[in-house]
Every structure is written in structure tokens, then in C-alpha cells.
Structure 1
Amino acid sequence: MKSLLRILFLLVIFLIGFFYLNLPANENSPLKGPTKTVPNTKVPEITGDASERPKAGWSTYIGKDVQTLKEKLGEPVRKGPSQYGFKWWVYSTDQQYMLVGVSKGKINQIYLTGTIADFAPFTLNQTLDELYRNTITDTEVNIKIGESIYTLVLSEDDLQSRLLVMYDGVFAQLYFDKMNKTLMGIRFIDGETLVKQQPYDMTYVGDMIETKKPSSFDQQKINNENATQLFELSNRFRKTVELESFIEDEDVNIATRQHLEGIVMESLANTSAPETALKKLLENNQIEFEDAAENIAEDYSDAADAMSGIINSDKHRKDLMNEKNTILGVAAFEKNYAQIFIEREIPTTEE
């Protein structure tokens, strides 16, 4: 009897150990971009609800020649292609991260975030309640371009995390951290570019503004730029809570690209191919890890928009802000984004 009990006890210990050793890595459900676009048969009423355009701050550069910005800031640290035909000019300092959209020599948008950044006429870390007290907002914003009218429709979630404010000739997208209810990023953008990027649900009367589809060669360059921005933004938001920056690892980047492209291709083919578990993916790519997690963001207009979605999802934010995660792999494929987080001890370098 004692021998039987001893065997049963050892079997239980073995099964418990087997279970913990074979726990899957943390695979969050994909974030879904909130956008859909449909034609409208009813012509919306255009009202004069636009606020007076700010006279100071970065919003004043929208529509200006990019040389005016270059005279103020100098050369960008990088220029890269976008999904929408314009170029990104990237400016980065210890305190501020700026993405500038440039089309035919003119500035069509400026996105800003950081620990110290000029959000005028708003302020970094401004509360959501304060903004609602002092700013005109609406659930629907109409944009007239030529003979066509585009209506952007904000969801309940948008009203807590991605407000849209209309000024005379420029729009402000306000990115809030829903957990803290504070302003963490801002984008000033012209109407035509806003319609092209379609960051909100949208209806339209007239013609849809089409963006030329990039060649496969150009798309790869766009994917690389978007992935780089996602990595940079990930570290920016780690910095706001005083966490160490992620280390980039090309092997993890390659695995992340494989994973994301597989998910997208499966979706396009409308098939249910066998899923590749994250743990198995990493093992197949001979990547060492103590633990791992993944974030997938599908159908987001750009990296900044995808980062807003990640920050404002509790599960996805948890992995981004996990201090044990030291390595980050990133990938982008058209309007889809992926992060793979690796927990691995980083050897300290002796001086």
C-alpha cells in the first residue's frame, strides 16, 4: 500500500511539473481596428462648427512647405515611405518623438508624443475631463472635399481614447491613455489625409479618395518603416513609466514577421489553417526565452494608431509594460502590426 501511495505521489509531482513546463506563451487575442467605410445616400448637413485655428504651435505648420519645419528642426533622423503615398520625416530627441507627413513638399500631418512635448493648444497629460470642459467635440465630423462629403463617426471608445477636434483648415486627433485619462499623444492633420487614412468609421456621399496600391517592393519598404516606428513608439511609452527600453533582436523580428504574414495570408485566403503557437514559433526559430508574449493589431491606419490601441487594451498593455520583458520583436504588414515580447536575462557588461 505504501509503495502504491509513493508511486501515486511521484506521478502527481511529475504531472504538475510537466504542466508548468509546457504552459503556452501568452498569446493575446488580436486587436481589431475600429474602422469601416460605407457609402451614404443621405447628404449630411454641413455646419460651421469648426473652431478658430490655433495661432501658435505645431498645428500652424500643416499645409506649409516642409522647408519651414526644416529651418526650425534641421534634418530628420530618418525619412521613410507611408502606406498613403506621402513620406514620413522622423524627428526624435530624448524628450519628444515626432512623425511628420510630407506630400509634394507640403506638410499634411504632425504626430507628437514624449515626456516633454508641445501639444498647443492642448497640453501633454491634460485630463479628459478638462478637455471636455474647454473644447467643442462631437460624435460626427463632416469633411467636404470638392463635391464629396465624408462623415467620420466616433464610437464610445473613440470618445474616451481618440477624440477628433475640427478647426478651420486642420483637425486634431487627441490620443488619451484610458487608464489614466490623460493626453499622451496628438496628431494635427489636414482633411484629405484624414479621409485617406480612415482612422474612424466613415460614411461618404460622392467619390471615395483612393490611394494608389504600392508595388510589392515598395510595400516591403513601407512595412519596414512602420515596424521601426512601432518599435520606437513602444520604447517611448515604456519611458513614460520609467521602464528600461526594449532591446532589438533581428532573429525575433524575423520570427515576428513570419508570424504576422502567416496570420494575414490566412485571413485573406479565408481559411482556417493550423495555428502556429507562439512557443513553437520561437523554438522553431531557435530563439531562447524564459517567457514570451505577443500582441497583434489588425487594420490600424498607422503605427501611432496601432500603439494607441495597444496602450488602451489592458491585456496588450500589460505585456508592453512588463518590466521582465527585455527584448521586443516587431513587424508590420500593410495595416497590420505585431509585437513579440521576450523575457530573457541580459548579461551585464563589466567596465
Structure 2
Amino acid sequence: MFSRKRGKELEQLRATVVQLEAYLKKYQEEVDRLKERLEVLEWRLRGLVKVFYPQRYTTGMSAEECIRVLCEELESSRIKSLKKPLFGEERVSGGESGERTRVEVRLERVSREELEVLKRVLLGYCNYTILVRRGGLEGVVERDRVRGILEKLVSNGWLNVLKVKRLRSRSTTEVYFPSPHGLIACEKILGRAWTYAQVEHLKELKEYRNHEELLSEVVERLKHTHKQITTDSRECIVRVEGVSHRADLKVDGVLVEVETLSNTMDDTERMVKTIIGYQGELYVVVGGEMARRMMEQRLCMCSWRLGYSIRYRISTVDRLSHLEEMEKYMVIRP
């Protein structure tokens, strides 16, 4: 009788232990989930400070520090907006002109090495590997300093960075692209708007392909592996949330974009928004490897502006055979 009672108590103890382990596991999962959400919130708060108040941004700011800076700056802006200008007073420092002037003044304080790295990122050398291999930095910037310079350009508000993950793989790549201040700096450094400067760089490299030529080759390659291909504008127009866009072609019901990089960022953003809204994934064909890097930058900027991650497939025209063979990626937007 004693051993039976003892056995029953052990069973109850085991059941209690199992129950406590389940509670502990659930608690740990909730802690991990909250920790992940806090990291995302801190990242987004740092991004807001870095973009809108770069002079007050420091690496590793806590959420509390970011909120304090944002509150102080917003309160300062509110107070300024309440002050009425005197009759006839001209606010030459206000508006876009004043912002450009401030950016140009800040740009004068950027070191020569930082300018060289920034210039190359603007031209499409958008990750560390491509920057040191093809960016032409030999004899200009020491290789072991490039990462630190990239981090400094991000922390000082000239560049933004997002991770791009190749799907079905664990690898991710950090892709750098210009911030709003970086876009203004581009006009000063390269003498052209960012998207136009990239097109001109492709021409300098003799890698530019005009749209008609590129589209013709894409159709020629795909017609051997797909049954239905059309470039009829009536078949390729989509409309999502009041925004319409005409894709370059439709292949077995899938909309495909042929990108020469000649579009403005507003055009690209409209394209991404409508195509993602229509089919959930973007299919892009470009003329060559450098154009591919530039397109990755633009997709990252779209993801940053739109506030959500973007799934896309991309291929250079010389490697194009079937849509299903196109490499899959995701821009990860926190």
C-alpha cells in the first residue's frame, strides 16, 4: 500500500514537472517574441532619427533616446510653426532650398575617403563585396577601412542599408542605398540626379541596353520555354488601390518587367506597389550584372519608402531561360 501511494505521488510530481516545463517554454517563447519586436521597434526608431535628424543620430541609440530626440525635435518644429514672420520678411533658409544648403554645408565636412566610398555606392556598387572588387578603390581607400566607412556614412545619414536574403538559402547581403540627404549629395558630387547618374555610368561601362532591344531579346528567349507571351498593353495593365501601371510583358499570366534603369524612382515605386499588390512577387530582367546591382538598390529604396518587405525574382538577360529558374530574393524591411 505504501509503495502504491508513493508511486501515485511520483506520477503527480512528474505531471506537475511536465506542466511547469510547458509553462516555462511558453514564457520563454513570449520573451523571445517580445525581444524580437523590441529590436524591430528600436531599428525603426533609429531609422527615423537617422533620416530626419541625422545630426542627432548616434550608433546604438536606445529606443528611449530615439523617442526623446523625436519628441524634442517635433516640439521644436511645432513652436517654430507658431511663430509668424514679420511683414515683408523672407525666410531664405526655409523649405527645400534651405535643406539643400544645410546638406551641402554638411557635405563639405565629409572626408575624402568617405566621399570616394559614397560616390561609388551612388553609382551602384551597393554592397561590400562588389565595392571592394569592382569599385576601383585600390590606392584610394584601404580595404580594411571600407566597412567602417560604410557604417559611418549610414550613421551620419548619407546612406541607408537593408538586408537582402536569397530565398532557399541562409545567406543575406547588406545593400546600401542613398538616404534623402544622400540623394541631394549625389547631385553635388556627380552633378546629376541619382537615377540619371546611374544610367550614364552604365553607358560609360558600355553595359547600357535600350528598352526595345532588351525587350526583344527577353521575348525571344522566353518564347522557347513558355506558351503564352504578350506585350499588348491591354493585357499588361494592372490597377491596385487606384494606381495603374503597364508592365512590359505577360508570360503565362505572370507580369514581367524589363528594366533599363532609365525610370525615375517615382516610376519604380509605382511599378513595385502595383505589381506586388497584383501578384505578390516582382519579376525583373535587366541587361547585365551592374544593372542588376543598381536595380537591387532601387528595390531596397522602394521597400524603405513603402514600409514593407519585397519579394522579387531577378535575372540578367544572358542567363534568362524560364521564369521558374530566376533567382528568388527578399528585401527585408523591419
Tell me if TM exceeds 0.5.
Answer: no
Comparing both structures, which one devotes a greater share of its residues to helix?
2
User: TM-score, length-normalised on structure 2?
Assistant: 0.27
User: TM-score, length-normalised on structure 1?
Assistant: 0.26
Structure ID, larger Rg? 2
Which structure has more RCO (C-alpha within 8 Å, separation ≥ 6)? 1
